[in-house]
Structure 1
Amino acid sequence: MKFKTLAIALCAGLVAGAANVEPLNLTLSGGNPGGLWSLLGAGMDRAVKASDPNSVITYQATGGGFANIGLLGANRTDLGMVHDAEVKLALTGQPPFPAPIKNMMAIGYMYNWAPMHFFLNKSIAEEYKIDSIDDIASSKAPLSIGINRSGNITGNVALFMLAEAGLDEATLSANGGSFVRAGANEQGELMKDGRIDMATNGIFIGHSSFRAIDENVDVVLLKIPESVIEATNKEFGTSAYTIPAKSYTNQAEDVDTMALGAMVVATDKMSDETAYTLSKAFVDHIDEIRGVHKAMAQLTPELMVSQTVLPFHPGAERAFKEAGLLK
């Protein structure tokens, strides 16, 4: 009888403990108010609410991944959206970070399919016989090349890839060209007006800024040497990717490149229980996140655990192990 009473008490305690799990109340630092990361924030909020209607994830617009890592490093936000390449720089204290940031822990990968594109005006490509980024330096073409603004990791990646292909700023300047800092949509306008000859960025295939370039300017998508792709992946922790043939008007063949990914990151200050509840909600209600944009249709629980640049938070790891996603 005593054993039976004890068992009932233990069960009651477990049920009460489960019922008393605190609702989540977290801030997610993202990027632009109307960008994909803000949509992902809304999807994550819906996912945690599907598990507990009283839970909330509040989206905070910021300058992007670099800014979010700074906030995480200072423990001034609960969660941050960051690119894998940005994390790689932060862990080793490379610019723009003055020192290594070591307190970050992964919650889950959101996507890894934002490939680097290099669009060149077709008439210039034909005149100087350029079909790959490693042709640019030797061609002596005086190109104006769009590079994303400082603080955006795709600008760092583009400059690294071009330098690996032999085109650093000194070489470009000697050829009579220059780098022009401009955001994704700005580069489309600059190409349309003939103020730049080449656009570079790492965004989803068919992103609106790329569609604008493809529809309004006669451009070709340049090839990238395998050695450049390998060096970039080693430097930034990114992955190889192929842009399928016919993705753009003048693209007859597949183009191999590399792709950036983005993940949700917490800090070691987050409790295991909070990280567990958060990650479990993401897995159990992944459709809430997938549904924010057609570009997110590829998101799976398996993809969520596929990042390799950061250790998972112990709470997240527990949730993923329970779901059979990690051993």
Structure 2
Amino acid sequence: MKNTRTPLVAALALAAGAALAVPGAARAEYNLTLCGASPGGLWSLLGAGIDGALKQALPGSTVTYQTSGGGFANVVQLDQGKCDLAIIHDAEAIAAIKGEEPFQAPVKSMKTIAVLYTWAPEQFIVNKSFAEEHGIETMEDIAEKKVPINVLLNRRGNVVSAIGESMLEAAGASIENIESWGGSVTFAASKEQGEMMRDRRADALLNSLFVNHQSIQQLASAIDVVLIPIGDETAAKVMEEWSIDRFTIPASAYAWNDRDTLTVTVAAQLFAHEDADPQMVEDLTSALVEHADALQGVHKAMQPLDAKLMASATAVPYHPAAADVYKAKGLQ
């Protein structure tokens, strides 16, 4: 059969074929929004790391961190298409799927992209002079001595705040009890907590933070603080309620802490909507796996993160395109 293509058409076809044959020649750039939590907190660092990984893989791409009320709020934001990606604790995701509080009906549209961490202990940090004045050695001492303490919890709307409430209640120091003793419980973003502690507007904070997080270093350099543990019974109650793990902060973690400190910890994952563009999910997952160092570098506590951990989620199924990446690399 005679070839009827003109030389120009043939040249264009050849050029197109050559472009397709070059790996990565047609890779896209992405402009994605990531629902996180409060500005300046733990998740904002992870947002910067995810942005850095995608930029390394696909120069020109951007992941914009979007302030949010936290994981519970992020479930709704992601479901409604108000962000492309979201960081959500696994306990929050399970509550959403089951339709448990604060959800009025099951939300099943989220799919896992990667596990980000399984270590972010609830840290109960108390002004040292206040702790010494009232003889606070453990969280349970607050109830035993009916201490009029002013405690800061993270903003309502995320599991970190709710777990903090559960810890206080399990230790006998519910919000109602604390208020009856002349104290208070205030809900504030991570950045606000440090400011309020430094200004002596609060006596303690209870928040999920990486060990030796920058905000803790800054607080400890401004005022003397102590790290207060919970007892085994309190830990057991909270672990059963939330299906989370115990965590021991070693004495060596802080220069101003001289004992191992028992607490509990939460895990967080990166999610996309089940209808997310499979190519985007594949590119993003590959970027995270290939450039895990971008996330490891946001804080020394992120050093344990690797591709194997990213692929280890069990709470919520992976997006098929993300699962394909992990399977291709022998991680699932």
Shift of 1:35: 4.9
Alignment of 1:182-261 (within 5 A): 182-261=188-267
RMSD: 2.9
Normalised by the length of structure 2, the TM-score is: 0.82
Distance 1:188 1:39 in 2: 17
Aligned to 1:3: none
Would the alpha carbon gap of residues 47 and 218 (structure 1) be closer, same or farther in structure 2, given more than 3 Å must change?
closer
Alignment of 1:64-213 (within 5 A): 64-213=70-219
Shift of 1:71: 1.4
Aligned to 1:287: 293
For residue 188 of structure 1, what is the amino acid of its counterpart? G
Larger mean Cα displacement after TM superposition, 297-306 or 179-188 = 179-188
After superposition, give the CA deviation of every residue in 1:142-179 in whole Å (9 maximum; x if it has no partner).
11112222234322111111111111122212222221
Identity rate of aligned residues, in percent?
38
Distance 2:214 2:48 in 1: 21
Alignment of 1:293-304 (within 5 A): 293-304=299-310
Q: Matched residue of 1:224: which SS?
A: coil
Q: Matched residue of 2:121: which SS?
A: strand
Distance 2:106 2:52 in 1: 34
Aligned to 1:9: none
Q: Is the 8 A contact 1:44 1:57 kept in 2?
A: no
Alignment gaps of 5+ in structure 2: 1-16
Would the alpha carbon gap of residues 246 and 158 (structure 1) be closer, same or farther in structure 2, given more than 3 Å must change?
same
Give structure 1 regions of 4+ aligned residues with deviation exceeding 6 angstroms: 17-21
Aligned to 1:277: 283
Shift of 1:305: 2.1
Would the alpha carbon gap of residues 219 and 289 (structure 1) be closer, same or farther in structure 2, given more than 3 Å must change?
closer
Q: Is the 8 A contact 1:84 1:236 kept in 2?
A: no
Q: Is the 8 A contact 1:86 1:236 kept in 2?
A: no
Shift of 1:86: 2.7
Q: Is the 8 A contact 2:54 2:287 kept in 1?
A: yes
Would the alpha carbon gap of residues 211 and 285 (structure 1) be closer, same or farther in structure 2, given more than 3 Å must change?
closer
Shift of 1:24: 5.6
Would the alpha carbon gap of residues 286 and 139 (structure 1) be closer, same or farther in structure 2, given more than 3 Å must change?
same
Question: Structure 1 residue aligned with 2:32, among 22, 27, 36?
Answer: 27
Is 1:265–2:275 an aligned residue pair?
A: no
Distance 1:123 1:20 in 2: 62
What number of residue pairs does the alignment pair up? 313
For residue 46 of structure 2, what is the amino acid of its counterpart? L
Distance 2:21 2:240 in 1: 49
Shift of 1:29: 1.9
Larger mean Cα displacement after TM superposition, 312-321 or 75-84 = 75-84
After superposition, give the CA deviation of every residue in 1:65-84 in whole Å (9 maximum; x if it has no partner).
33321111223332112233
Distance 1:271 1:322 in 2: 19
Alignment of 1:7-18 (within 5 A): none
Alignment gaps of 5+ in structure 1: 1-11
Distance 2:257 2:49 in 1: 34
